[in-house]
Amino acid sequence: MAHSKQAFKRARQSEEKRVVNKNVRSRMKSAIKHAVTATDADRSSAVVDAMKRIDKAAKIHAIHKNAASRYKSRVAKALNRARAAAAK
């Protein structure tokens, strides 16, 4: 347990930030799953939404910038695989 006013405040701020970051990461991962599993009709809008959520998570430091790049790459790969499969 914290012993000083400064430590109490830091603990409170850390908990608030943890809750916000958890929410941001959760919504980002949900958007990614939706983009990967989306049908042809709404795939492009789902991918745009996923990319936007990934960028925002990286911007507020909920995830590392390299992790954001990795997620975006995987979403783009999934989109390209789906397009290739649909073209056949």
Q: For 31-66, how does the pLDDT look when each residue is reduced to its tens digit (9 = 90+)?
A: 999 999 988 888 889 999 999 999 999 999 999 999
Per-residue b/e over 44-79, b at no fewer than 16 CB within 10 Å?
eebbebbbebbeebbeeebbeeeebeebbeebeebb
Q: What percent of the chain has pLDDT over 70?
A: 100
Q: What percent of the chain has pLDDT over 90?
A: 81
φ/ψ region of 61 (left if φ > 0, alpha if ψ in -120 to 50, else beta) reads: left
pTM of the model: 0.86
Instruction: Tell me the C-alpha distance between 72 and 75, whole Å.
Output: 5
Helix (H, G, I), strand (E, B) or coil at 23: helix
Domain boundaries, the chain: 32-88
